[in-house]
A and B are shown apart, each in its own frame.
Chain A
Amino acid sequence: MVEVDTKDLAFKWGKQRGVGGKDKKVRFFQSFSYGSVEYALYDCVYLYGEGETEPYIGKLIKIWENPDKTKKVKVLWFFRPREIQYYVGVEDTAKDELFLASGEGAGLANVNPLEAIVGKCNVVCTSEDSKNPQPTEEQLRTADFIFYRAFDVGHCRILDKIEEKVAGVEVKFIFNRVEAQEPNVVLELDSAKKEVFGNAVASNKTEFPLKKNPSKEHTTQKSNVISINSLWKENADTNTSLVKQKSSLREQPAYRIRVESKISKTNDRQENISLDKSALRSVDFPIKGEGRVVKNLVRNEEKLKSSHDCNELEDRPSENVICVRIEEKVKSIHDCGELDDRPSKKAKLDCSVKVFGDKKEKSVRKLPVDLSRHDARGVGTVIDFEDKSRLKLVKDSRGVENGPLKKLKLDEKTKPFDGKNFVKSEKGKSSRDCSELEDRPSKKAKFDGPVKVLGNQNEKRGQKIAVDSDLIDAKVLPVVTACEYKYRLKLAKDSQVDEKGSSKKLKPDENTKLSNGKLPRASPRQFADEDKKFDHQIMEITRRPDADKSKWFRAIPWEDRMKSANELGTLVLLQNLDPAYTSAEVEDIVWHGFKENCRAKMIQRTSISSPHCGLLLEVPELLASLRRNQLFLAILLLINLDIRCQGK
């Protein structure tokens, strides 16, 4: 007994059939042995069903081992009449009859772990097909189940003929095996004889432990009860219709044989009552047919879906990888969409796949990020070079542009220097003029010192006096005698006293000059003055043709005349001049003051110019002396005073 127990736990692989196509580590086998029982490909076996009182029945189609040492089998299912009653509503089927799954859809075949196999089962095909070897009476007697019809899983209907291929399996493997069955039968007979109790189960090739036998006996007892009920039903049917009678007649021999075998089993059961008490309790479990059938089908569907999904999931990660590798955002978006579209039931698998895919995507995304970073750096360097080159070009262009600007600046620098030099020269002249003005009283003192005066000096003094008189009274005087002249001078003096108090000082000067001078000398002075007066009148007349000439000379640009005058040294700047004067007026004034013609131009008044404007003159060389300039400046200052006095 101890040895038997150890043997039962042993598992061995039989003959290896081949290697997997996708994964070479997967090994397919022809057979295996579990304990003392040997299972071969295309054998019918019982499979454990959770929550079911009766196990499932299926045919082994594939047997393999995965690389992770997990053992799998693919099973082609058989349906009990109770399981498909919901869809078909069959009532005339035998209780020992099974329906082979066929067609396409859920419930046809399924992958299950190898450990789910409970034991072997003897199923005999009683189809009248030519390919099917007909079973013998002994085979029918020892068979647990029979089948001769198929159940289309897709259309949910019964087929009278079995298809050529079902789930990829040929018919010859589905039908009875002639050669294989005979030695099995012989072995069973031998084992039956050896047993003491004479109890034998056709499906068992070797002895099972005593504990397991009672459960099977009880199952057979149930089937006996059910079969009796069916016989009653069949009898009733024979009374109603001929067709049913024919079917019942065909089935009678099978039931008679089964009745005999069941009687013998009941006898054996009575002997083992004491040992099977615990097993009786399991028989009392309630039976739920329709609900469980539906659930089973649903479960099968789920299993099939899960298997398909597993296959799809296995393929999808590779596709995701490919999509990610292609680095196209559109495909990745579609993949995300597909992942999102998956049902919630597959959340675990989908989550794992998502995580895997996300990881791959992240890892792949990092690569383009790195590449983009490198590219960005490279592009950045290129940009830097381009920017540098552009900056250089800009600098070069700016340098080129700055060239003329620099030249302009140099020109500007030179110009203000010229202006400054001009101003400095003017300042020097003005300072010299001031010094000469200071020197004047000493010279005049010398002149006043000696009693005797030269004729030339007297003439100069006479000229000054004449100029003053002419300026004071700008009237044309007729020729008069000496007495009348003296009288008129007195009248003039009186008028001056009345009009201007400032002119009183002039009187004593004139008196002193007259008293100091001799009369015969005074007479030629008077004549000279008269001559000059005449000359003055004539000069005024001649000024007009000068004005006409000036009109003619206006054609010459003033800048050119300034340049030439500056070169010759005849350019003079007058300051502190009333801006109301015009150029022509200034020319007249100069003519009256110096008896010389000149070209004058008033500087235009602007907001930036100094409040006391000046005048640019083109003066002959004789009048360009310092002394003359000094006198001229004095005259101009006086003119301003006179005008302002008149204004007041």
Chain B
Amino acid sequence: MGSSAAQADYAAFLEKVKRTIYLDNLSPQVTEPVVRTALNQFGAVKNVQFIPNYMGPRNIAECALVEMEDVRQAKAVLSEISQFPFMMSGMPRPVRARPAQVEMFDERPIKPGRRIQCRWLEENDPDFEIAREMKRLTNKHAAEAAFLQKKQLQEEEKLAKQQLDTLKGNYKKYEMVDSIMADGTARRLARHYNLRVAED
């Protein structure tokens, strides 16, 4: 009875995984209503869950798991976002989408029929050295990942600053043009230089 219930739960979980989308490279300003509004054009959104970040810095891009009504809608979202750049509020970052995986869910049921064995190791055991080497490699990989992440964040900050400067310059330019047209300076200059300028 327990095994059958466990299998049913696990099957339901797998079905959920199939119709769930993993969104990446989201702006910090993106919230659940924003995600719902953005993806409602493809179908009905059942649930939105943001994956928290416990280890890395706070300013990295956010991740979210979006559950759609059925598998067809999920595939439609994936195809559209993979073909065209899809942007949400905040920085103009293109959103990345991919199918969800089992390991991405925090509260998932235990897979039935799984066998786990564990034991303590002595220092003189030959597997002890292998385990120790694995531990060292794990730390190394973690450090490398952290470094790469840091570099990526620096590049993103640089790009954000450049975009901000460009936006500021454009805003100032258009503001100046609007003020000139409103004050009538454009018409006076046009008359002075014998040019034809439309009133609009």
Instruction: Give A residues with C-beta under 8 Å from B.
Output: 369, 372-373, 375-376, 379-380, 382-383, 386-387, 390-391, 412, 415-416, 419, 423, 430, 437, 440-441, 444, 464, 467-468, 471-472, 474, 502, 505-506, 509, 554, 559, 562, 575-576, 579-580, 582-585, 588-589, 592-593, 601-614, 616, 631, 633-635, 637-643
Contact = CB atoms under 8 A, between A and B. Distances in A.
A637 B135 CA distance: 7
Contacts of A592: 118
A419 B119 contact: no
B183 A608 contact: no
A634 B120 contact: yes
Given A372-B191, A416-B59, A640-B134, A471 B176 contact: no
B103 A638 contact: no
Given A372-B191, A383-B179, A416-B57, A505 B106 contact: no
Interface stretch (B37-45, B78-86, B137-145): B137-145
A544 B103 CA distance: 24
Contacts of A468: 119-120
Contacts of A386: 179
B200 interface: no
A576 B138 contact: yes
A569 B57 CA distance: 22
Interface stretch (B67-75, B87-95, B109-117): B109-117
Contacts of A375: 188
B131 A614 contact: no
A576 B172 CA distance: 53
Contacts of A437: 132
B58 A419 contact: yes
Nearest to A607: B24
A392 to B, nearest CB: 13
A575 B138 contact: yes
Contacts of A605: 101, 103-104
B162 interface: no
Nearest to A430: B139
A464 B120 contact: yes
Main secondary structure of the interface of A (DSSP, over half): helix
A-B CB proximity, top 8 nearest = A637-B131, A471-B119, A415-B58, A576-B138, A605-B103, A416-B57, A612-B138, A579-B103
B55 A419 contact: yes
B125 A412 contact: no
Contact of A606 (B24, B107, B126, B132): B24
Given A582-B110, A608-B149, A372 B120 contact: no
A51 to B, nearest CB: 53
Nearest to B131: A637
A412 B58 contact: yes
Contact of A379 (B54, B106, B185): B185
Contact of B119 (A472, A584, A611): A472
A483 to B, nearest CB: 26
Contact of A584 (B110, B138, B185): B110
B180 interface: yes
Given A471-B118, A604-B51, A637 B145 contact: no
Contacts of B104: 604-606
Given A606-B51, A608-B56, 8 more contacts: A382-B183, A391-B172, A419-B55, A467-B120, A585-B116, A601-B106, A610-B146, A637-B134
A430 B179 CA distance: 64
A639 B118 contact: yes
B121 A634 contact: yes
A642 B117 contact: yes
Contacts of B108: 582
14 contacts: A372-B192, A379-B185, A416-B59, A419-B55, A582-B109, A589-B116, A593-B120, A604-B51, A607-B63, A610-B141, A611-B141, A635-B118, A641-B134, A643-B116
B43 to A, nearest CB: 24
Contacts of A416: 57-59
Contacts of A505: 124-126
Contact of B103 (A575, A580, A610, A637): A580
Contacts of B106: 583, 601-602, 604
Contacts of A430: 139
Contacts of B102: 580
Contacts of A641: 127, 130-131, 134
Contacts of B54: 562, 603, 616
B116 to A, nearest CB: 7
B159 interface: no
Given A373-B192, A606-B104, A637-B135, A612 B125 contact: no
A604 B103 CA distance: 6
B145 A610 contact: yes
A605 B106 CA distance: 9
B137 to A, nearest CB: 8
Contacts of A509: 122, 124
B113 to A, nearest CB: 13
Contact of B57 (A419, A464, A614, A638): A419
Contacts of B172: 391
Contact of B56 (A419, A575, A588): A419
Contacts of A604: 51-52, 103-106
Contact of A467 (B59, B119, B138): B119
Given A387-B179, A416-B57, A633-B135, A502 B24 contact: no
Contacts of B183: 379, 382-383
B175 interface: yes
A375 to B, nearest CB: 7
Given A464-B120, A634-B120, A376 B145 contact: no
B60 interface: yes
Contact of B110 (A464, A585, A631): A585
A412 B116 CA distance: 41
B76 interface: no
B128 A634 contact: yes
B188 A372 contact: yes
A386 B175 CA distance: 11
B110 A383 contact: no
Contacts of A616: 54
B56 A383 contact: no
A576 B134 contact: yes
A562 B54 CA distance: 10
A440 B139 CA distance: 21
B57 A415 contact: yes
A347 B154 CA distance: 81
Contacts of B55: 419, 423, 603, 609-610, 614
A635 B120 contact: yes
A613 to B, nearest CB: 8
Contact of A576 (B126, B135, B175, B184): B135
B59 A412 contact: yes
Contacts of B185: 376, 379-380, 383
Contacts of B56: 419, 608-609
Contacts of B188: 372, 375-376, 379
Contacts of A602: 103, 106
A605 B103 CA distance: 6
A611 to B, nearest CB: 6
Nearest to A441: B123
Contacts of B132: 437, 637
